[in-house]
Amino acid sequence: MKIDRNSWHFKVARFGALDDGYDRTDLCGSFWALVRGAVLFPAVFIGGAFAVSLVLVACPLVALVVWFQYGQLVLLGPEVVGWIAWTGALLYLCYRRASKKESDSPAVRLAKTAYQGWKDKTCVLVEIH
């Protein structure tokens, strides 16, 4: 029996600690490595999702609640990581929004055009549809 190294079940079996240092293995060892990989992958995924949600949501919110309740901002490791991640995401979104010229609203475009005309001492033509 031949198993392709690029097949999904071989990759899951590798995740389940199948040793591919050799070109041959027995079917029983391969099967149990596949079972271990099939059980281990969701456990790692759920554990990682829990840890990320804890660091990004729960810890920063608890720090805010403690600050509002007691007036003291307590920042430990997970809270700092969460606040840095949220601040970085907010700055990235602001940067993306500011860098897009076509995302400006008509009022912003009008104000920019009026300012540019005032600065250049020209009167911008307006076409009404």
User: What is the per-residue burial (b if ≥16 Cβ within 10 Å, else e) of 52-89?
Assistant: eeebbeebbeebeeeeeeeeeeeeeebbeebbeeeeee
Residue positions counted in the chain: 129
Q: Is 14 exposed, middle or buried (0-12, 13-18, 19+ CB in 10 A)?
A: middle
Give the pLDDT of residue 29: 74
Confidence band of 25 (pLDDT split at 50, 70, 90): low
Residue 16: C-alpha distances to residues 20, 21, 30, 34, 98 (Å): 11, 14, 9, 6, 46
> What average pLDDT does the chain have?
80
pTM here is: 0.49
| Per-residue pLDDT at 41 exceeds 60 | yes
| Per-residue pLDDT at 46 exceeds 90 | yes
- Nearest Cα to 16, choosing from 1, 34, 28? 34
Give the pLDDT of residue 22: 58
Task: Select the more confidently predicted residue: 65 or 103.
Answer: 65
Q: DSSP for 12-76, please give it.
A: HHHHTT---SSS---HHHHHHHHHHHHHHHHHHHHHHHHHHHIIIIIHHHHHHHHHHHHS-----
Q: Is 101 exposed, middle or buried (0-12, 13-18, 19+ CB in 10 A)?
A: exposed
Confidence band of 69 (pLDDT split at 50, 70, 90): very high
Confidence band of 104 (pLDDT split at 50, 70, 90): low
